[in-house]
Structure 1
């Protein structure tokens, strides 16, 4: 809260949303919205001009308010089961635009590199280079703003429905927040090509896998917290399922700010589950959590604990270990920390 706000207090209920947003304002919004470049190019082909960014407080309050309002409106009605699906779409809209801007930014960055190799000291060439650099910077600023709003919307989504938001395909990588969920394809491609650092997080790898009908989330959270105490810079790898153990682990990673790579089954062909397991084992993980499930988990256990070769310390939880699922009533309008 600013000194000015603290000094005059709140004169009416209409002032409360702005005051509350200011109290919880995050550095990510300040970095993305609070210090715009002096000149910007809003759209390709436009002349440079001065355009203001939205206020960080307003951007954060409105972004979180949209997601919370959907859950608040649908709760205790026959539309309540649809709230997560509708809210997912709102967050995904920010993600879609951010991804489109990232592709434009990459294209302009490649163009700038090509131009920099040329020796054309003419005034026309220099003006074209400067224009392209400004357009690239402008798009990077727009992308960062979209990523900040997407990540805050995703945090609100996780708070309201209890599971992490993830895109239908691809990665949710960000330069403005530490939490990320990266698809296996982007992760492996980045390791091979060194395409972008934020798609190639470094650190000792910890693997988590289990069935979709696993209900004891605290058991997984407690063990992951214990592992992170010993391995603070860990990188979490899951088998990419949207329910059960993998979803619990992804929610833990989002809350703790730990990078998470989801090794889904996309594009792996016949026997894809077992091919995926071998890809995970090739990453040389340092520790693993496996919950009793199907042959997928059994295969991982055999890969992690061979008779000879690289052994991975593995925490195994059987179905008898998990507590009965106890439904918890959703709280209304909870703002994530």
Structure 2
């Protein structure tokens, strides 16, 4: 006759054994940075070698964005855990009565916060490594679908901050962690098309060369742009990614309809930038140039053909005539 599991256990003399909750050992050491870089590069190379000349070729950029976003979302989750643990620590400190229970709870919450912080920093480092691969693959700086891309474990050179997040932080008595600190430089340009690949390359080179020259004059430059993934902003964002220059991206508030572009102009100019770098664009951009000059903000004008100075193009035309 077979006895039940419960009956078999009852026959054992286990009365002296006490079940205890075993706390797992949590290391605060992140993965080795070189190992992270090499592993992600290998995964990236193998995965995206599959896509050319297949039905997935057009989806490769979206898949690449999603891979970076995996690390970004995981890091954001850990950041929220830190916030909750920090709030609990404040409450325990306020209610501190010297008891063993209070001290034990406080130690537990501090350990939880430290563990979450270590995990967040590790995940952010992995996201930054993946974001570099994304930039190399697509030619564009990686940005989350909403909000900012902050890197708490490093300087703000890798920050891509949402414009509204930045304005909110500036208005608070205590700024959010890792917001970029430096001299704002506005960049503006529209969506353009070119007759040949050579013209497109020439224009892109002019954007990068211009920004390099501006950075030579403004060493602590923070690039402020509209965050348009399909326009000239994409070239500027890629430049900032490559040069490790922090970015503030002011996306359009679509709820404002036709006023959205002009409202964005107001927000960017409210940062009191050192100068405006202007490439060809729409009427909204032209209004931005007018308003910048009215506020005595220097304009680096590159609205001529292929991103040249308009007066330079006029001199060439005059010489040719």
TM-score, scaled relative to structure 1: 0.76
Question: After the TM superposition, which segments of 4 or more aligned residues of structure 1 sit over 6 Å from their partners?
Answer: none
- Mark the structure with the bigger radius of gyration: 2
Counterpart residue number, 2:25: 49
1:165 aligns with 2:142: yes
Aligned residues: 275
Distance 2:113 2:265 in 1: 39
Distance 2:42 2:299 in 1: 42
Query: Superposition pairs for residues 207-226 of structure 1, below 5 Å?
Result: 207-213=186-192, 215=200, 216-226=203-213
Distance 1:288 1:49, change over 3 A: same
| Candidates 273, 279, 301, aligned match of 1:316 | 301
2:186 and 2:273 in contact (8 A); partners too: yes
1:98 aligns with 2:75: yes
- Structure 2 unaligned blocks of 5 or more: 1-20, 194-199, 309-321
Distance 1:235 1:74, change over 3 A: same
Counterpart residue number, 2:282: 294
Shift of 1:303: 1.1
Distance 1:258 1:176 in 2: 16
Distance 1:113 1:57 in 2: 37
1:143 aligns with 2:120: yes
Shift of 1:268: 5.3
Counterpart residue number, 1:248: 235
Distance 1:120 1:64, change over 3 A: farther
Distance 1:266 1:146, change over 3 A: farther
Aligned-pair Cα RMSD in Å: 2.0
Shift of 1:213: 2.2
Counterpart residue number, 1:303: 291
Distance 1:272 1:74 in 2: 38
